Amino acid sequence: MFFFLFLLCRVVVGLAAGAWLLAAPPAARAAVQVEIHFPVLERAISEQMFAQDGRRYVKGSKADKCSFAYLSKPKLGGWNGKLTIKARFTGRSALDVIGRCIGLGDDFDLTVLAEPHYQSGKLRLKNVSVVTEGKDSMYIRNVRQRLGQSLEREFTYPLDADAKRILEEPKPGSPFKQELRDFGISVIEVTSQAVVLPVDFRLSVK
């Protein structure tokens, strides 16, 4: 999940920078609408985030027998204005007692639903929920609650700082200096096909 949002940020900033370099005068304000379709993001996630035999460990590692958790088979989409990530969860929270794992564990399909939003220069998540279908237990309810709370509370990405670094980077041999001002993103739209981000910024060249 975190890598998806990091990738999304880099794509947005990179495309905005490219649009300005192609069209803007020495001191200009740019408004760029970036539309990123889910198959593009899904391929990147599968190749980089789920590189360990198609798994992404959120607890422990492949070497852990009794205490681990990982996601697999990610599928991105949009539903009712929210970003959705469907995946297979496999986990165990148990003790190794004479070679046997004693404790809770399960595997099931889950869907993370979240609203990405831009606030005070940072990309955050709000209204995060995790849903499952067909199975329910104390272990599954605990996984849903902890995963949803963790994503909403802990994830924050300094998008404005990344944009400033990329857009103000000196160009080889150029005598000019670039200064980013008034960078912002208005309401982020999630459709059934893509994530749409209106990027607005002013770049001054001195």
Domain presence at residue 137: yes
Taking alpha carbons only, the member of 38, 17, 39, 4 closest to residue 180 is: 17
First to last CA, the chain: 39
Predicted local distance difference test score (pLDDT) of residue 180: 78
Nearest-angstrom CA–CA distance, 125 and 154: 9
Q: Tell me 170's DSSP state.
A: P
How many other CB atoms sit within 10 Å of the CB of residue 168? 14
CB neighbours of residue 166 within 10 Å:
14
- Cα–Cα nearest to 86, from 126, 42, 53: 42
- Residue by residue, pLDDT tens for the chain (206 residues) are 444 444 555 555 554 555 444 444 545 555 677 777 888 777 777 776 677 788 888 888 888 889 988 888 888 899 998 989 898 999 898 888 887 888 888 899 999 898 988 888 887 888 989 999 888 888 888 888 888 887 787 777 777 787 777 777 777 777 777 787 777 888 888 998 888 878 787 777 77
Q: Is 186 inside a domain boundary?
A: yes
For the chain, list the strands marked E by DSSP. 27-37, 55-59, 67-79, 82-97, 100-119, 122-132, 156-157, 178-185, 189-190, 194-205
In a domain, 128, yes or no: yes
Q: Is residue 158 part of a domain?
A: yes
Specify the pLDDT at position 90.
Answer: 92
In a domain, 205, yes or no: no
Please indicate, yes or no, if residue 104 is contained in any of the structural domains. Answer: yes
Name the phi and psi angles at 106, rounded to 5: -175, 170
Task: Please tell me the total count of domains within the chain.
Answer: 1
Containing structural domain, residue 100: 2-200
Q: What is the CATH number of the domain that holds 114?
A: 3.15.10
Q: Is residue 206 part of a domain?
A: no
Q: Read off the tokens for 99.
A: 């070679």
Helix (H, G, I), strand (E, B) or coil at 147: helix
**Alpha helices, DSSP H only, in the chain?**
2-23, 38-48, 138-154, 159-167
Give me the phi and psi of 204, to 5 degrees please: -105, 130
In a domain, 136, yes or no: yes
